[in-house]
Structure 1
Amino acid sequence: MDRQDFIALLSPEGQALLEKVGPLEAKTDVVQLVSKLRAGGSDPSLVAAVLTQAKLRRQAKAKFGPFADRMLFTEAGLEQASRLNVAALHADRFRKAGIDDVADLGCGIGAESLALASLDIKVHSFELDEVTAAIATYNLAPFDNAEVQQADVTEIDLSKFGALFLDPARRELGGPNRERATRKFDPAAFSPSFDFVLAAAAQKPTGVKFGPGHPHEGIPDNAEAQWVSVGGNLVELTLWFGSLARPNIKRSALLITADAKHEITSDSTERLDAELGELEEFVYEPDNAVIRSHLLGQLAQSIGAHIFSPEIAYLTAANEIKSPWLKGYRVLENLAFDRKKLKAYLRERGIGILEIKKRGSDVVPEELRKELAPKGKGAATLIVTRVGDAHRVLVCEALK
């Protein structure tokens, strides 16, 4: 979204058209809708801006629920924004620490600020990009305890705030390609830089949101690191400093499901590997939060399972295990990985519905599916991996 589009959306005509269009469903005939709105006298550029917002509002429901219907978005801003239920957990950290004044440095479209403000915490939101700052102002308008400023956070006096929250930009947001910006995985290229983040965290209680692929060697020893999974989707790594870090917790994996929260913690930064053993009747795929946090050994110990190949994050056990952290499979066959023989095996058994998983293999599941050309009404899960040092394919049935 550029400046002119935003101004147009704020106009009485823009607001009326947004209300008229409402949520843009996936099945909507957009071409027909555009023709109808233009025929009604609406400006073509305004129609385009409104339909883009309607589409983004539909997509945003996964993160913001019904709140999305009154918010404005950019594509990049929506993609980087925290889910509201995760932002609420962040805000609760500040509340439990007795903090009532927070600077949201690089607030984006305002997701974290929304959660903080809803807990009656005074929020000072800062955003470098002009349009994004304007959108955050729009989204935070219902809250008297939130204010937004367009500013370079590296030039702000941080001493006047009670605590800080940062979500360093992991993509280029400037220039004409803003909406098609590419992700940044190099912490030195974040905006603000990783050095700035560490310097800020040394001054005040601080929370910092990173992508879940942030390397362990880039985590300071004085931080609590928490990997967060929402319904099995690994969404972020958050570092907590000062009074926001919990005592005696250095690493944690948090799983948020529809009806509960589950957590595995460790008081050490050292990785505990799961024991290595033989492949058993059942194979388990752990949640990625456990894998990325290097807490697989803790999970394996707690459920009585082990790995069956070095550095491969599948667990196995002789018994069926029920755990929110695991997707389970019963092993029906343990075969050498031979494409021709596997294709014949599937054909003989009429297996046409395939779920294909892989770890420790350079197989591309989509390409393998084309090679196998499965046909039939039967269903199975193929796990292409290593068993010990051998390249194998496990034919499995998913546990319910």
Structure 2
Amino acid sequence: MTVTALLDGAGAELLAEACTNFQPGRELQLVEKLRRQYDATLVSAAVTQAALRHRAVSKFDSDAARMYFTPDGLEQATRSTVGAHRAQRIAATMPGSSVVDLGCGIGGDLISAARAGLRVTGVERDPATADAARANLAALGLPGEVIVGDAESIDLAPYDVVFADPARRADGRRVFDHNAYSPPWSFVTGLLNRTACVKVAPGIPHDAVPDGVEAEWVSDAGEVKEAALWSGHLYAGITRRATLLPSGATVTDAPEADSGPVGQYIYEPDGAVVRAGLVTAVAAAVDGWLLDPRIAYVTADALVSTALASAYEVLEELPYKEKALRSWVRSHDIGTLEIKKRGVDLDPAQLRRKLAPKGSGSATLIITRIDRDAIAFSCRRVAPSPTAGWPG
């Protein structure tokens, strides 16, 4: 049963009741209650939709309460903050342009683009998912159309901008190799010969990005969400960019940086900065240097507010030996232990269990490699300044 059964009449009434009474973990009780009054198949669809709306809040905030989802569509949908950033970039360069979204899913990117004043058309090969996309545009009062069709068969000539989000799952598993995308990578690179934006996985190899295309790595609240490839009129002449949401901080240059011994502070660059290969921008921002030229940690003697990295005050240098670290945990009464690592082969969760923190204190342990030696630093996380930022 598709979402169309829940759009009006008894289906809409049932969905409203299911959403009002939904409690995570008590779906079966809700189904039993609603089946006394409504058709069993319709009840199942409504309770499933209520559960999906509950899960969708993390991606769509208050819009989730009015939207319609499929399980796969919600899993694959772009977080609204990221979609809005992308749509606003298109609108700033090409205001009012027509955008076709190939493989639009439940319409998350269509919503962002329509709100940015762009004229949107979605293409989706699964009819049930296309129904959800249409319903979402209508529920949020946004213009646009959704066509059932195959992305590779659509005539792109009528559109100013092509947006594509190739499927990165096969047999229910996430695909990391860009050569295994669907539509295939050859189709993606063909799109990038015109004005296009293609969403890809953050692990896209730098050498896979075609010439004349910008790769923008985007993080949201410290979590790397995607890389976006920009071409044609949307290409700004930049090869790599890191953008950090919600601040909107962005960086494009990687100046030269020295390496040297640890200073009073260690800076951990945001994941988007690391993925973009722009770690030395953090060194420039904080007047610092790299701990090791091959490792994405920056160090400095001063505490400088920057949206590009998290800061940790170095309290003590420790040998990377389990016995010594366990002794340190006990002597400092550590109970809450954050372990961060780069350049060393270890499982932080497994090491934490071995160190057995049971005290009342808290600490951060940064373990990294300098030259050939693994070393640990006892640190204190420094809260960022409310005004921390980076010029865009």
1:107-162 CA-partner distances (Å, limit 9, x unpaired): 11111111222233221210112221121111122556411111111111111222
Change in 2 beyond 3 A, CA 1:84/1:316: same
The code of the aligned residue for 2:176 comes to F
The residue number in structure 1 matching 2:251 is: 264
Q: Could you tell me how far apart the structure 1 residues matched to 2:134 and 2:4 are? A: 13
Could you tell me whether the CA contact under 8 Å between 1:309 and 1:389 is conserved in 2?
no
* 8 A contact 1:120–1:145 mirrored in 2: no
Going from structure 1 to structure 2, the CA distance change for 1:29 and 1:392 (only over 3 Å counts) comes to: same
Once the two structures are overlaid, the 10-residue window that deviates more, 154-163 or 76-85, is: 76-85
Displacement after TM superposition at 1:302 (Å):
2.7
Structure 1 residue 86: Cα displacement: 2.1
Q: Report the Cα distance in structure 1 between the residues aligned to 2:104 and 2:375, rounded to whole angstroms.
A: 47
Contact 1:207/1:238, CA 8 A, preserved across alignment: yes
Deviation at 1:221, TM superposition (A): 1.5
Partner of 2:161: 163
Tell me which amino acid in the other structure corresponds to 2:158.
Answer: K
Where 1:140 maps in the other structure, the secondary structure is: helix
More deviation, 377-386/43-52: 43-52
- Structure 2 alignment gaps of length 5 or more: 384-392
Preserved CA contact (<8 Å) 2:286 2:300: no
Which string of whole-angstrom CA distances, capped at 9 and with x for unpartnered residues, describes residues 312-371 of structure 1? 111111122221222111122211111122112211221111111111122111111111
CA distance in 2, matches of 1:225, 1:233: 17
How many residues are matched? Answer: 381
Is 1:245 matched with 2:235?
yes
Distance (whole Å) between structure 1 residues aligned to residue 44 and residue 307 of structure 2: 43
Identity percentage of aligned residues: 40
Q: Which amino acid aligns with 1:332?
A: L
Task: Supply the distance in 2 between the matched residues of 1:291 and 1:251 (Cα, whole angstroms).
Answer: 11
The match for 1:70 is 66
Q: Within 5 A, what are the aligned runs for 1:1-400?
A: 4-6=1-3, 8-10=5-7, 12-22=9-19, 29-38=26-35, 40-98=36-94, 99-141=96-138, 145-172=143-170, 181-202=172-193, 204-246=194-236, 248-257=237-246, 260-266=247-253, 274-400=257-383
Q: Secondary structure of the residue that 2:138 maps to in structure 1?
A: coil
Q: Decide whether aligned partners of structure 1 residues 101 and 7 sit closer, same or farther in structure 2, where only a CA change above 3 A counts.
A: closer
Structure 1 portions without partners, runs of 5+: none
Could you tell me how far apart the structure 2 residues matched to 1:119 and 1:323 are?
A: 29
For the structure 1 residues 330 and 43, does the alpha-carbon distance in structure 2 shift closer, same or farther, using more than 3 Å as the test? same
Deviates more, 1:29-38 or 1:321-330: 29-38
Cα 1:145–1:37, aligned 2, differ >3 Å: closer, same or farther? closer
Q: How far does residue 25 in structure 1 lie from its aligned partner after superposition?
A: 6.4
Query: Alpha-carbon deviation of 1:196?
Result: 0.9
- Measured after TM superposition, the shift of residue 24 of structure 1 is 7.0
Residue pair 2:202, 2:224 contacting (<8 A) in 1 also: yes
Provide closer, same or farther for how the CA distance between residues 58 and 194 of structure 1 changes in structure 2, counting only shifts above 3 A: same
- Given that 2:339 and 2:366 are in contact with CA atoms closer than 8 Å, whether structure 1 keeps it comes out as yes
Aligned residue type for 1:386: R
CA distance in structure 2 between the partners assigned to 1:365 and 1:14 by the alignment: 48
Distance 1:284 1:58, change over 3 A: same
Secondary structure at the residue paired with 1:141?
helix
Query: What TM-score, normalized to structure 2?
Result: 0.91
Whole-angstrom CA distance in 2 between matches of 1:358 and 1:23: 44
In the TM superposition, what is the alpha-carbon distance from 1:7 to its structure 2 partner? 5.0
Return the alpha-carbon distance in structure 2 between the equivalents of residues 131 and 78 of structure 1: 13
In structure 2, C-alpha distance between the alignment counterparts of 1:137 and 1:224, rounded to whole Å: 31
